[in-house]
Amino acid sequence: MHKDIATPLRTKEILHKYGFSFKKSLGQNFLVDSNILKKITEFAELTEETGVIEIGPGIGALTEHLARISKKVVAFEIDGRLLPILEDTLSPYDNVKIIHQDILKANVLEVIQKEFSGTRDIMVVANLPYYVTTPILLKLLTEQLPLKGIVVMLQKEVADRISASPGTKEYGSLSIAIQYYTKAETVMIVPKTVFTPQPNVDSAVIRLLKRDKPIVEVEDEEFFFHITRTSFAQRRKTILNNLTSGLPNGKENKELIISSLEKINVDPSRRGETLSIQEFADLSNVLLKVLPIGNES
């Protein structure tokens, strides 16, 4: 067994050897605690049959843990300076492929078809760069990729929002978007002290297991997400106020919006955060039929 990358000393040695300096703009924080990495892989329930996509492998600390258990790891790394380091640190593992590309611009489906043909399950496991967590998760979920699930480390505050329930201050359009596609749970809190450089906030590991089909039935997904985002535009406002001020021609269609809310038994004076995902689905399905904007989309 090779010496783990994720110790403060070994990480320091590797960074020193290559004269690597952290780029703030890329949100680079490397984990220096092997026990936490082991736990992350356990939460992902990897087997020798699992293919793994990693995003932002850094110097390979999590990658090597994934490579030891799974069939194959394909990691997307945006920072070219890390490629020679990864080639060195991951040289003991022949089941790892590094792709030098921004995951947000990548054709992930194409990569899956090419790299994981005949693989039974595919999981995304990553320590995500904080500044692009939400767009990465939404891309992975909206592109209908054949994933079993996603286990990622991210800012604790974002994890709280993702797994939030209606009626809490964390609940919002992000909670709805992620829970629409997955069962979401925060499985572990990670203190900021186990990273180098140390971030300002604690992290959390969240596990998202893909549903066979979305949790609610909506006629038009894009319109559904548009309605949920509009309903949370200003949290203090009522759902009626947010919809009338946020939808095109909302003010002219105020009566239609009121009657739509009443039709699904939602009091127009409620706030967006009190509506369940089912109520948002019902609302978007009704509005889609009556609002001019719904009929156009």
In the numeric block, which tokens belong to residue 237?
A: 């406002």
Classified as helix, coil or strand, 152 is strand
Asked if 189 and 273 sit in the same domain, the reply is: no
Output the known binding site for S-adenosyl-L-methionine: 29, 31, 56, 77, 102, 127
Asked if 94 and 175 sit in the same domain, the reply is: yes
pLDDT at 297: 44
Output the known binding site: 29, 31, 56, 77, 102, 127
**Using CA of residue 291, residue 292, residue 296, residue 297, what is the dihedral sign?**
negative
Asked if 181 and 150 sit in the same domain, the reply is: yes
Q: Which residue in 56, 53, 1 sits closest to 23, CA to CA?
A: 56
User: In this predicted model, what pLDDT tens digit does every residue of 12-69 receive, in sequence order?
Assistant: 898 889 888 777 666 677 888 999 999 999 999 999 999 999 999 999 999 999 999 9
C-alpha–C-alpha distance, residues 162 and 132, integer Å: 14
Q: Which residue in 124, 149, 131, 168 sits closest to 273, CA to CA?
A: 168
When pLDDT is cut at 50, 70 and 90, the band that residue 97 belongs to is very high
Average pLDDT, the chain: 93
Tell me, yes or no, whether 142 lies in a domain. Answer: yes
Share of the chain above pLDDT 90, in %: 79
Angle between helices 254-263 and 239-246 (to 10 degrees): 140
State which of 210, 231, 257 marks the end of a domain.
210
Asked if 198 and 232 sit in the same domain, the reply is: no
User: In this predicted model, what pLDDT tens digit does every residue of 273-295 receive, in sequence order?
Assistant: 999 999 999 999 999 999 876 55
**Using CA of residue 178, residue 184, residue 185, residue 191, what is the dihedral sign?**
negative
C-alpha–C-alpha distance, residues 79 and 20, integer Å: 11
Asked if 147 and 179 sit in the same domain, the reply is: yes
Asked if 56 and 128 sit in the same domain, the reply is: yes
User: In this predicted model, what pLDDT tens digit does every residue of 207-251 receive, in sequence order?
Assistant: 999 999 999 999 999 999 999 999 999 989 999 999 999 998 889
Burial of 8 (0-12, 13-18, 19+ CB in 10 A): exposed
Please list, in sequence order, all residues whose beta carbon lies within 8 angstroms of the beta carbon of residue 143, skipping any fewer than 6 positions away: 108, 109
